[in-house]
């Protein structure tokens, strides 16, 4: 029997996950999951469709079209007939309190297609045969739809209704277009013990964590609460500010916070580079809570991780973008709002492009072995005040210089796949497999995360938009997906000693708060297991034979791998490697080189491979000069350090200018 609820008291949540007590008609339920794929394709039907690629299964909020128009992965449901009898239908499989609908127009990469629905009606049914209209008093309700392709428009029903089926029935559409839409339906499942889809408890997490979306102030409070709960293993610090002055907070987790311990590797997670891709931010806030509480509970796995690793969590690299997306909310921020920095910069393309500098040098060199494959200095132009470099990017680059990171992951959203360097193709080809010298190890890292992720590992899952990454085991070379010059991953690899991958965490860039517990469960093991990979390969300390002091910036070369690394300030180093036998050569300016053979096992416990170097004698230096030779000089390190100083100097100038302008703006507003 179909009926409406006008005065039923219910507990609902808004788009930010805050619990609201009130009358159901005055608030709305969470999304049923067209965008997040909780709603399966077989729950969607339509009166007609223009083509297979424009079928009802494509009528999902924020779905993106494929690279080819008119293929099976187009960007909306489009009716095959233009009249007012067309509809898109959802079968909720159980009685559901429907409270609203969100609509978008058709997405297309190449075409200027102007297809959207301007007004529509809604009907409900319990058997898909008898339909009742959504009413507004004594009249059938007509809802306002879209006036552009991408802006989501929310319509809340005057009278929320309980039914199993809902239909969206377009009435008018853009005059030069056709009937096309992408949708999300808001609804609260009604308990029904007789339904095969009924369960006493919704799927979620057994961990008692703060599962909601946190704006800037709420994020600071949560981080402070974790620090208060675990003061002996946590420290909060900042690496800089956003364009509008919001601090970039980092949570450090270590048994010796605030200090680099000799031989202990440094690990980082970075989230929120794109401010509207918010799941990574919440996962890192959950992760710091989880590690703190499990450490206090005596969880040996967590205790070992904290004892052996210095962990850094940056939950929001682009807080300005996040605040813009948060203000709209999880379903209404669209696909791009908040992606860019306040200045409109895509930080995923904002790091120095060292790939092409290296490749150009290799092409011109007579002996490619003499071309540097690591610690490549950023170009001179990048260090000026005129360079279009976001303050957030500058802050992260400076952070990389201060801490000898070994392993990292950059958390994104909008897809379900793990990518590994290189992200940039040679010769500006749109997409092509472009491996690094460490391709096998990068593939291992990507596989570790993907195989432990509960959604990625599910062979029955639906693709997010248009690409089937399951055929690649949910991992792909970044450049083989799409070329990204100036990515943080490539910069980390070529400028520092850090191996970094990108994790696309969810089809939905901004999941509703109700989805956060299950998303934590989907990613918890992956997050922990990936951190443990920092202990693979070899590690050691390079010392002066006579003084026993550590030697900084020594070159560690693995025979057969065309990528070297450097020792840190205290002489310690970490070289990530797959199991095997390796010939290692170490060289530093003013010292004789040294060779050792080191064995790497299959367990995540790095093999100790220390080196002691002997200084080059004055007699040997005289012999080199007498024979017309040149004393080896490590000019690359000097240039790299000089460019870093210039970048920091220009950053200070820009920060002062920005602060002065912000003060002036405040005075004007008064």
Known catalytic residues are 504
Kindly give, in sequence order, each residue whose CB lies less than 8 Å from that of residue 567, ignoring residues fewer than 6 positions away. Answer: 541, 542, 550, 551, 552, 553, 554, 556, 573, 588
Write out the H or E segment, with its range, that includes residue 235: strand 234-241
Write the CB contacts of 649 (distance below 8 Å, at least 6 apart in sequence).
Answer: none
The phi-psi region of residue 191 (left if phi > 0; otherwise alpha if psi is between -120 and 50; otherwise beta) is: beta
Q: What string of H, E and C letters represents the secondary structure of 325-382?
A: HHHHCCCCCCCCCCCCCCCCCCHHHCCCCHHHHHHHHHHHCCCHHHCCCCCCCCCHHH
Please name which of 165, 202, 167, 205 lies closest in space to residue 183, comparing C-alpha atoms: 167
**Angle, nearest 10°, between helix axes 279-297 and 516-532?**
70
Whether residue 406 contacts residue 576, with contact meaning beta carbons closer than 8 Å, is answered with: yes
Can you read off the two tokens belonging to residue 613? 């170097």
Cβ-contact 99, 156 below 8 angstroms: yes
List, in order, residues 6 or more apart from 286 with CB less than 8 Å away. Answer: 207, 209, 210, 211, 516, 520
Contact 365, 408 (CB under 8 A): no
Q: How far is CA 85 from CA 120, 125, 172, in A?
A: 11, 16, 11
- Largest Cα separation within the chain, whole Å, is 103
Say if CB 314 and CB 270 are below 8 A apart: yes
Q: Cα(451)–Cα(468) distance, rounded to whole angstroms? A: 16
First to last CA, the chain: 60
Report helix angle 216-229 to 319-328, nearest 10: 110
- What is the distance between the alpha carbons of residues 601 and 355, in angstroms, rounded to a whole number? 31
Q: How far apart are CA 330 and CA 513, in angstroms?
A: 8
The single residue listed with the structure tokens 């609201």 is 20
* Beta strand 117-125 pairing with 132-133: antiparallel
**Closest CA relative to residue 338, chosen from 245, 272, 243:** 272
If you ran DSSP here, which 8-state letter would residue 120 be given? E
Q: What tokens were used for 127?
A: 């058997």
């Amino acid at each position: 029997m179909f009926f409406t609820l006008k005065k039923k008291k219910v507990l609902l949540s808004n788009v930010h996950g805050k619990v609201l007590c009130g009358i159901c008609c005055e608030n709305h339920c969470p999304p049923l999951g067209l965008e997040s794929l909780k709603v399966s394709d077989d729950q969607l039907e339509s009166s007609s469709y223009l083509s297979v690629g424009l079928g009802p299964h494509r009528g999902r909020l924020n779905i993106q079209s494929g690279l080819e128009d008119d293929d099976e992965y187009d960007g909306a449901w489009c009716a095959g007939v233009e009249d007012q009898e067309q509809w898109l239908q959802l079968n909720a499989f159980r009685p559901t309190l429907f409270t609203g609908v969100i609509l978008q127009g058709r997405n297309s990469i190449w075409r200027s297609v102007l297809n959207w629905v301007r007004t529509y009606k809604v009907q409900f049914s319990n058997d898909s045969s008898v339909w009742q209209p959504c009413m507004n008093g004594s009249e059938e309700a007509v809802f306002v739809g879209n006036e552009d392709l991408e802006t989501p428009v929310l319509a809340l029903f005057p009278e929320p209704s309980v039914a199993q089926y809902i239909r969206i029935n377009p009435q008018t559409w853009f005059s030069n277009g056709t009937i096309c839409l992408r949708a999300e339906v808001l609804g609260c499942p009604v308990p029904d013990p007789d339904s095969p889809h009924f369960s006493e408890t919704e799927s979620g997490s057994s961990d008692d964590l703060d599962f909601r979306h946190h704006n800037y102030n709420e994020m600071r409070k949560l981080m402070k609460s974790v620090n208060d709960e675990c003061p002996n293993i946590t420290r909060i610090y900042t690496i800089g500010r956003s364009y509008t002055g919001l601090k970039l907070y980092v949570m450090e987790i270590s048994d010796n916070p605030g200090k680099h311990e000799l031989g202990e590797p440094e690990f980082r997670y970075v989230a929120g580079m794109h401010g509207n891709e918010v799941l990574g931010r919440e996962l890192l806030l959950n992760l710091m809570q989880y590690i703190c509480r499990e450490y206090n509970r005596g969880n040996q796995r967590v205790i070992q991780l904290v004892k052996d690793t210095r962990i850094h969590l940056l939950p929001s690299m682009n807080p300005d973008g996040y605040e813009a997306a948060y203000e709209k909310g999880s379903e209404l921020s669209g696909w791009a709002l908040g992606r860019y920095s306040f200045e409109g910069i895509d930080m995923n393309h904002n790091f120095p492009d060292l790939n092409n500098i290296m490749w150009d040098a290799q092409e011109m060199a007579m002996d490619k072995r003499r071309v540097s494959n690591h610690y490549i200095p950023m170009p001179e132009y990048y260090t000026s005040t005129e360079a279009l470099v976001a303050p957030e990017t500058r802050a992260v680059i400076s952070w990389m210089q201060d801490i000898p990171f070994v392993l990292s992951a950059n958390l994104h959203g909008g897809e379900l796949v793990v990518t590994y360097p290189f992200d940039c193709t040679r010769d500006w080809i749109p997409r092509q497999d472009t491996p690094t010298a460490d391709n096998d190890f990068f593939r291992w890292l990507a596989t570790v995360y993907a195989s432990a992720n509960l959604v990625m590992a599910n062979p029955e899952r639906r693709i997010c938009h248009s690409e089937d990454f399951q055929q690649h085991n949910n991992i792909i070379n970044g450049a083989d997906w799409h070329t990204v010059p100036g990515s943080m991953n490539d910069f980390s690899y070529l400028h520092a000693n850090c191996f970094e991958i990108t994790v696309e965490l969810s089809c939905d860039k901004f999941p509703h708060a109700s989805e956060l517990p299950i998303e934590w469960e989907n990613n918890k093991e992956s997050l922990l297991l990936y951190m443990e990979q920092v202990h693979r390969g070899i590690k050691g300390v390079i010392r002066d034979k006579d003084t026993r002091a550590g030697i900084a910036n020594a070159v560690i070369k693995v025979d057969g791998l065309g990528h070297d690394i450097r020792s840190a300030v205290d002489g310690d180093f970490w070289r990530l490697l797959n199991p095997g036998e390796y010939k290692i050569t170490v060289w530093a300016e003013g010292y004789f080189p040294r060779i050792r053979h080191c064995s790497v096992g299959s367990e995540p416990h790095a093999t100790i491979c220390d080196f002691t170097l002997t200084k080059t004698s004055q007699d040997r230096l005289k012999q080199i000069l007498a024979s017309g030779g040149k004393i080896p000089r490590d000019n690359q390190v000097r240039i790299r350090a000089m460019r870093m100083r210039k970048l920091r100097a220009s950053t200070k100038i820009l920060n002062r200018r920005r602060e002065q302008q912000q003060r002036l703006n405040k005075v004007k507003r008064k």
